[in-house]
Amino acid sequence: MRTKSIGIFDSGIGGLSVFRQVVELLPNESVIYFGDTARVPYGNRDPETIIQYAMECADFLVSQDVKMLVVACNTICAYAFEALQNRFSLPIVGVIDSGLKTLLQTTKNEKVGILGTTATISSGIYPRKIGACNPQIQVHSVATPLFVPLVEEGFIEHKAVDLIVEEYLSALKKENIDSILLACTHYPFLRKVIEKCVGNKIVVKDASEACAIEVSHELVKRGLATTATEAHYLFFVSGEAKKFQKMGEKFLGRNIESIQEVTLP
Ligand code: DGL
């Protein structure tokens, strides 16, 4: 039996880090993924543009009759999560609360680092939310905007990446933090390089696993979990499908069979 799909979206390929965890945890759930690859990166755009783009992505997925929206983008969550909740009546899960939860469970010395896009870091959403949960926690936030184009272009293992990661993180490494949150869904694809740079005393976490668990809880809570025994995955992008397919297959370690280019209104 075929039921409605979960809709996952991001500015580009980064949301595949969330897609990967969702399909691993919920192998019978069908997923429609949308990546706004023609307009990535979002992370250096102004709030109004981020909100407008977020609405257009979500409208597209809702037009595909999804049963839930998963905002697999910290930048969108930082600026547009409330607006999305106000516009749509279907359940919406975002990565920020999942990342926050993961980070709070990880830190022991209450000194943490947050890596995100310029927009996410300048929104101040993480220090604000962390402070509301535990005001003792010291938060060191670093904007690392070059990571997104590196991932979009498939620069994952390259000495240029090592140098850029080192440049961005050298000051943070001196702050005696014990954990770092990758607060951008593109960054898990650079995890190896980031871990190598910060060494084994700092734990590097991302939101994707906790986000998949949250998706699962929400589906069960709302009686939306599938009864199907087989899942279907459809991918839509606003940019070049071939490029996304090639990179996506490399990241996911599986074939992307159905991918289409769409033009947003
Ligand atoms: N992957 C997105 C995030 O989590 C956005 C990257 C971008 O478009 O700048 O923030």
pLDDT of 2 over the 70 cut:
no
Q: Is 186 in the pocket of ligand 1 (CB under 6 A)?
A: yes
The verdict on pTM exceeding 0.85 is: yes
Q: Is 35 in the pocket of ligand 1 (CB under 6 A)?
A: no
Ligand 1 center to 5 CA (angstroms): 23
Convert the pLDDT of each residue in 94-141 to its tens digit. 999 999 999 999 999 999 999 999 999 999 999 999 999 999 999 999
> Can you tell me which atom of ligand 1 is nearest the CA of 120?
10
Q: Is 43 in the pocket of ligand 1 (CB under 6 A)?
A: yes
Q: How does the average pLDDT of the chain come out, rounded?
A: 97
**Mutation to probe ligand 1, out of 79, 95, 123, 148 (largest number of atoms < 8 A from CB):** 148
Q: What is the DSSP string of the chain?
A: ---PPEEEEESSSTTHHHHHHHHHH-TT--EEEEE-TTT---TTS-HHHHHHHHHHHHHHHHHTT-SEEEE--HHHHHHHHHHHHHH--S-EEEHHHHHHHHHHHH-SSSEEEEEE-HHHHHHTHHHHHHHHH-TT-EEEEEE-TTHHHHHHTT-SSSHHHHHHHHHHHTTGGGG--SEEEE-STTGGGGHHHHHHHH-TTSEEEESHHHHHHHHHHHHHHTT-----SS--EEEEESS-HHHHHHHHHHHHTS----EEE----
pLDDT of 17 over the 50 cut:
yes
> Can you tell me which atom of ligand 1 is nearest the CA of 72?
4
Convert the pLDDT of each residue in 211-259 to its tens digit. 999 999 999 999 999 999 999 999 999 999 999 999 999 999 999 999 9
Over residues 150-157, mean pLDDT: 92
> What integer pLDDT is reported at residue 265 of this predicted model?
78
> What integer pLDDT is reported at residue 1 of this predicted model?
44
